[in-house]
Amino acid sequence: MEPDHANKVLSSPPALEAKDNLSMMHSKFICCKLYISESRNTMAIDAIDSAARSDPQVAVLSKFEDCLYNRVRYTLVSYIVNDSSTDELIYSPIRKVLMAMMESAFSTINLELHSGAHPRMGVNDDLSFHPLGQATMEDAVRLAKLVASDIGNDLQVPVFLYAAAHPTGKSVGAIRRELGYYRPNYMGSQWSGSMLPDVLPISPDEGPSNVSSERGATTCERKGWGAPIGASSCTLPWRLHRDCMLAGPGSCQCLSSSDCCGADCSRSRT
């Protein structure tokens, strides 16, 4: 059961009083990496791009498409607002943008028609949340759970929480193994069509146990960064973009949920 303060979650920014300092209000930021199972369908990508850029308060730091994997990763960042009495996260514009992106993906992508060289269990395959600036790991967990609830309840898509977002810290690898995520079903090294049974063998943390073969399921978690990234002013999105892209094209392009930023890394699967 949600605590009493759960009903304080806001769907729009709280009104600022005259004494409020905007720079202080925006001292906490959350980064989200969203992995979508598509990169070849131009109409779908254009629709998702439009949703990603629908709110100027949410910065799109990077977008990486891999045609072989048939997968795209978006890296977004925005501020969060905490309740002054409980310090619980109650609002972030990134929440509504993520929902718009996923709705666009579901309306333009059919998992039954998808194939690629990267494992996946759903159209919106994975989300990871990363605290920045003065935001805490607890803030990232809170936002991850709110978004997971949105996906499960509003979009009726099963969501599996993992790592710090899961009650027992269950790893994404354990969940994926139980769901057969790593087993290719086409030409020995490809994943094609829906991979999940109509009824899931394990219960999701949010959403139904029945799976739409067109939408699949989603995993969601909270992660920290491999290297510290500062955040102390409104120039945060541009400094983040600089740090993330510092290594140049072709370097930080892992399409797994454990990819890094600000350092070279090889493309890998999780």
C-alpha–C-alpha distance, residues 34 and 75, integer Å: 7
Catalytic residue among 26, 114, 118, 166: 118
Read off the tokens for 129. Answer: 């949340």
Is 118 one of the catalytic residues?
yes
- Give residue for tokens 């729009």: 12
221, 257 Cβ separation under 8 angstroms: yes
Look at residues 234, 207, 202 and name the one whose alpha carbon lies nearest to residue 218. 207
Close Cβ partners of 57 (under 8 Å, ≥ 6 residues apart)? 78, 79, 93
DSSP codes, 230-251: ---STTHHHHHHHHHHTT-TTT
Q: To the nearest 10°, report the CA torsion of 228, 233, 239, 243.
A: 0
Close Cβ partners of 185 (under 8 Å, ≥ 6 residues apart)? 191, 192, 193, 195
Instruction: Indicate which residues carry an active-site annotation.
Output: 118
